[in-house]
Amino acid sequence: MAERRATAAAEPDFLQFNDLACETEGGKVNNREPPQFIPSAFTEFGKWMDGWETRRKRIPGHDWCIIQLGVPGLIHGLDVDTSFFTGNHSPYVSIQATCLDELPSFTPGEDRTGMAATAAQIAAVAKLSSEVWPELVGVAPLQPGYAERCHNYFRVSSRSRVTHLRLNMYPDGGIARLRVFGVGQRDWSSVPTNQDVDLVAMTNGGVCLGYSDAHFGHPRNMIGRGRAANMADGWETARRLDRPKTLKADQQGILQVPGWEWAVFRLGHPGLIGSIEVDTNHFKGNFPDSCRIEACLLTPEEEACSLRPHHRHHYSKADLTPTRPVSHVRLIIAPDGGVSRLRLWGRPRLVTGAPANQSRASSKL
């Protein structure tokens, strides 16, 4: 079950995790972009709203939909966003979840905006038995979509892998967005030991644990699918205010600046890193001058003690070597700027009771 957070005054810590339902990660159906309101936008069915709005119910029952996560995984929290639904939001909601190995053949068909699902679609979905899926969130009230109240947060204690959600609204109304925050979970037993995979990718279970600054873009964007669509789809920091008035470089051409920004990631699986990609796509006048990547091997207990959000972590300065498995990395950029993607290609390795070790690699961008 879930613990409800009614307002956005104090944002919950689970917002640090990945949005497993985001459409850019393959989610069906969800939109990454923030909701918007266009006063003059109308359709033949009524006012255009940026979200899911059902007709005013005049028959028994309640409205619901099935959502396929883009990245199956463990869910830590949800945000039911009612932005701009101020007189027509759904007054109550519940959320159920399941893990499906195979999805029955189901074709949503044509756009049926303004209409209900067809009998054939209802029959196809009925095969999922979604009405009896376990509850993540029991029936709970929602706040209307005013700016200071639109985010309805729910902390989830489920420990099972989830692939699909059923969102129930009672009895009808509108919801702008559903954000599903968690950590991806992959079946590593099916990955050959001689195959290189991106160990930090969101789809493989990578997750951002902390960072120094995310003024223009969150570091978790760097482990998303494909190349970045634009600068907003990457990590970008504010300009450091301690930059020297006149910049100087050393013999390698690296700027000599007093500070840096950083982001820490836990890999989806400990492994041997063979190659690294730091992509500054779209950051043409605001890319970092240089970067450094530090890595270490931590147990879950050591992570709990050593890694905290918004905290500066220090590791040793040993050279990067592909002979040691690592579980965590820290990307450091100097002095500031943006990075669109981080890829850590390597081979997963089982680690049991190994002591922590550190390594480091640096480069001018």
The whole-angstrom separation of Cα 297 and Cα 359 is 10
Confidence bin at 7 (pLDDT 50/70/90): very low
Q: Looking at 105-119, 145-159, 293-307, which range is the least confident one?
A: 105-119
Q: What's the topology of domain 13-104+119-184?
A: Jelly Rolls (2.60.120)
For residue 181, the model assigns a pLDDT of 96
Q: What percent of the chain has pLDDT over 90?
A: 66
pLDDT, greater one: 293 or 362: 293
Does residue 310 carry a pLDDT above 50? no
Where are the domain boundaries for CATH 2.60.120.260 in the chain? 13-104+119-184, 189-308+322-348
Does residue 39 carry a pLDDT above 80? yes
The whole-angstrom separation of Cα 336 and Cα 238 is 7
Residue-wise pLDDT for 145-197, tens only, equals 999 999 999 999 778 999 999 999 999 999 999 999 999 999 898 898 889 99
Residue 73 has φ and ψ, to the nearest 5°, of: 180, -165
Does residue 320 carry a pLDDT above 50? no
Confidence bin at 313 (pLDDT 50/70/90): very low
Q: Could you name the CATH architecture of 189-308+322-348?
A: Sandwich (2.60)
Handedness of CA 171, 172, 174, 177 (dihedral sign): positive
For residue 116, the model assigns a pLDDT of 83
The whole-angstrom separation of Cα 45 and Cα 307 is 51
For residue 105, the model assigns a pLDDT of 59
Q: Looking at the chain, how many residues does it have?
A: 365
Residue-wise pLDDT for 200-235, tens only, equals 999 999 999 999 999 999 999 999 999 999 999 999
Averaged pLDDT score across all residues of the chain: 86
Does residue 5 carry a pLDDT above 60? no
Residue among 218, 230, 173, 229 at smallest CA distance from 56 = 173
For residue 4, the model assigns a pLDDT of 43
- Side-chain-side CA neighbours of 26 within 13 Å: the count stands at 12
pLDDT, greater one: 314 or 131: 131
Does residue 314 carry a pLDDT above 50? no
DSSP track, 152-219: EEEEE---S-EEEEEEEEES--EE-EEEEEEEE---GGGS-TT--EETT-GGGT-EEEEES--SSB-G
Confidence bin at 6 (pLDDT 50/70/90): very low
